[in-house]
Structures are given as C-alpha cells and as structure tokens.
Amino acid sequence: MEIDLINEKFVALLKEKNLKAATAESLTGGLVSKRITEISGASQVFECGVCSYSNRIKHEVLGVPLEVLETYTEYSKETAVEMAKGIRRLSGADIGISTTGMAGPTGNNIGLVYIGISTEKHTFAKELHLSEGLPDERETIRFWASSYALYYALEELKNI
C-alpha cells in the first residue's frame, strides 16, 4: 500500500462503513490528525484529535491512570492502550488511535514507538523501532509513526 494514499484509504473506508475516528497523539504531535483532515470529506468521519504531550493531559483528559504512567512511563505499550481507549471514550468514536514514544534527538530509546488502536471489540498496541541512527531523523520517525498508525487503524477497520 502506498504510504501517500493511506490517509485517503482510511477516510474512504470510514465513510463506506459509516464509522468515526479520533486520535490521541503524543509523539506525533497532531500529525495523524493532520493527515486525516487533509482529505476532503474527513469532517464526516473524524470526531477529534487530542495532542496529549504532557502526562497531566494524558491523565486528566484521556483518563490514563496515574499508576500506568508511573509504573510503565508515558513511552509504553500500556500508555498507548489507555490513550486509545481514552480518546474513543471521550469522543464516542468507533476507533481510537494513539501514538507515543521517543522521536529524539536526545534521550534513550530513540525511535521506540507505540501505536494504540481501540474499537468496541478489540484494543491493542504495536511496538515499533523506527530509528536508523541517522542525524536529524526526528521528523522521519514522526512521519513513519503516523503512517503506521493509519495502517494499523485501516487494517482494524476492515474487521469491523
């Protein structure tokens, strides 16, 4: 599947199935929402996006339990799952998509990314390692994280 068309395919499938999506983004800072809303007609299928960079917003707005943030950190599979569930609950959407991880350029585990997907019947998170050790790869990691988020969401929509 061509990466440039994934957002078009995602919006088209939401329309076809009469479903709604919402996003909770940390690592990608709104890039998944941007890629969805740049498609004409996205307003029919996109409920909202929350850029939850701080743990306070993850907890207070999305409902990520403090115990999850303290035990596993904000850069974890557990947090991605809770973010995806939280945005779905908050928005009433049929599918919630979340992103969290480390884009760099500083810190440990640069390129460690978690994508969370939540529907009424299935919630999961995928772990990705997107760093190639290149200088200035922050935007590349963020772009690929948004692409994978749309890909996993699209695949999950096929099962609804």
pLDDT value of position 151: 97
pLDDT value of position 37: 98
pLDDT value of position 26: 98
pLDDT tens, 50-78?
Answer: 999 999 999 999 999 999 999 999 999 99
Question: Hunting for tokens 């799952």 — which residue is that?
Answer: 81
Q: At 108, is the pLDDT very low, low, confident or very high (cuts 50, 70, 90)?
A: confident
pLDDT value of position 133: 85
pLDDT at 98 over 80: yes
Measure the CA–CA gap between 49 and 96, rounded to whole angstroms.
Answer: 10
Amino acid found at 12: A
Measure the CA–CA gap between 139 and 51, rounded to whole angstroms.
Answer: 16
pLDDT value of position 42: 97
Q: At 3, is the pLDDT very low, low, confident or very high (cuts 50, 70, 90)?
A: low
pLDDT value of position 4: 66
pTM: 0.96
Q: Which helix (H) or strand (E) holds 112?
A: strand 112-118
pLDDT value of position 127: 98
* Superfamily of segment(s) 3-157: CinA-like (3.90.950.20)
Q: What is the mean pLDDT of residues 83-100?
A: 98
